[in-house]
Amino acid sequence: MPAGLRHPAPRPLGHPGAARRSALNFTSLDYRHYERDSANVLKGATGDFKEQFAAQTAELTKLVAANKSVSQGQVLEAGIARADQRTARVLVVADSKVTNSAAPEGQSRTYRLQLDLVLEGGRWLTSNVEFVG
């Protein structure tokens, strides 16, 4: 390498961007287009999480529609707890404003999520979501 030039800094492993996107999709839904919203969650999912979410989608669709639920999520913070070449654990804090037939004026909710991600086909996908703290 010529003098004075350095290697570019490596991109952080398990970049929290995928976890932010996954958490945003998970906390944002609208009964008027829940099919699209749940598809967005599934696009960024893999493994057990994808299977469990897909298995619950039909029931959730009915529940969301019956309650006229709308949730507008916002990711406040995300940080890598651990990462290697193929896996990452990311902690996410997200808020959402939830409106439904029981609370038409809306309620604020805060979520602390732990997302496990795996690198598959060049994409970071969520393999597990847990509510923490």
**What is residue 89's predicted lDDT score, i.e. its pLDDT?**
96
Q: Amino acid identity, residue 120?
A: E
Q: Does the predicted model carry a pTM greater than 0.95?
A: no
Stated length of the chain:
133
Encode pLDDT of 2-26 as tens digits.
555 554 444 443 468 999 999 999 9
**What is residue 125's predicted lDDT score, i.e. its pLDDT?**
97
Encode pLDDT of 69-113 as tens digits.
999 999 999 999 999 999 999 999 999 999 999 999 999 999 999
Residue 37 in this model has a pLDDT that exceeds 50: yes
**What is residue 4's predicted lDDT score, i.e. its pLDDT?**
54
Q: What angle do CA 45, 39, 27 make, to 5 degrees?
A: 75
- What residues pair up with 98 in beta bridges, in sequence order? 71, 107
Residue found under tokens 């598959």: 120
Q: Give the integer Cα–Cα distance in Å for 44 and 57.
A: 15
In order of 9, 40, 52, 89, 106, the CA distances from 128 in angstroms are 29, 16, 10, 9, 28
- 10 or 51, greater pLDDT: 51
* Token pair in block for residue 65: 């529609």
**What is residue 1's predicted lDDT score, i.e. its pLDDT?**
47
